[in-house]
A and B are shown apart, each in its own frame.
Chain A
Amino acid sequence: MSRRAFSALVLLVCGLLAGCGSQHPKLKSNATGTPATDAQVLTLARVLESDFEHGGARFTANLQVNGQPAQATGRVDFRSGRGTALVSPTDPGLGPPRRFYWTRSTVLAQAAPGSRQYQRQVPDEQGNPVHGMIGFINLLSAETIDNTANIAAAAPRLIGHTTISGAPVDEFRYGLSGDTTLWILTGSELLRQVYTTRVTGGLTIDLLTHEPVKIDLPPAAHA
């Protein structure tokens, strides 16, 4: 079908998001680790399906907006495709937080900080970094298992084992140039964190929970 989950995520993120090719200062771009085994490829194939089966997630994200670091805190309902996030410049002096909602087809942006009014926006994943983040989040779940042949073709590697906030994770890297890194909760087939250098300044999304989430859109904004 028209979506191949992670393989799409890895192969397409350059097309979805602006600024391909930049490097995260903490990561090496050259391949490290060991080639993923068939069992590990199968784990990778199941990750997005597992995310979907759990319903949704609370998340944080680190991104760049207008060349400045920003953070997002939000929730996403993978089943409905709806989500919401509060996006804040890391430097509070650069401006107040702004809230966004989204559906599969529309982004609703707070008209002004603190406002109860929302402006409907056509998704522009290449031109708008917040929309790019939303597009990326929408690729983090899938209703069916991913294509192991596509994943294997992207040369996945197990980088190692570590922890995120005390939770043990397995770190994988793949993509045609190894520039997307995934941290999968050990033994659970659930995505904990994903990082890509294909977005200007890098984009990190950390799924803090995996749980049913219900998103109520702002009044008069149902799409």
Chain B
Amino acid sequence: MREIVWTLVAFALQAAVSPLLGRLESQFFAPDIALLTALYVGSRSSLLRGVACGFAVGLFKDGLALAAPIGVYTEITVLAVLAGRVLEKRVDLRSAVPLMATAAGVTLAATALFLLLEAVFHRAFDAYLDVVQMALPLALVTMLVAPLYFALLDRLSRPIEGHARPTLLGRGR
């Protein structure tokens, strides 16, 4: 149930963020919601549910960004779910600063993976320099949004879980 809610939230935000920032003429500073969702799901959910959720969110992003071959973002988000599972055991992803650092690192790694996958599978792709130039701004924006997004998903999970667990905004009731 939680995973469905997270997936739907990710769908809605991905669909809304781009036009919203487009209206503000700052669409290049859109945070990577799919990646943050995958990281969150990986750190909060079981392996299979997390992978399924990451798969759906990545596929949806592939649908929104048809410029890349379908599967690129799906692959990245599934791997991000796995990374989230691994990192959750080593980094305190419930604290803001470690979370931000992790989000920035994962975003940069995801960009590198994107370039690699594009280079391998996308024969018509030639915008490597643009992607490299946007890597750092994307990582910074995603890093800044990460604590807020995690707090939002925590808040949405609380009524579903029905029991208290520590969150970024404090311990739930």
**A and B found bound together:** no
What is B's interface to A at a CB cutoff of 8 Å? none
What is A's interface to B at a CB cutoff of 8 Å? none
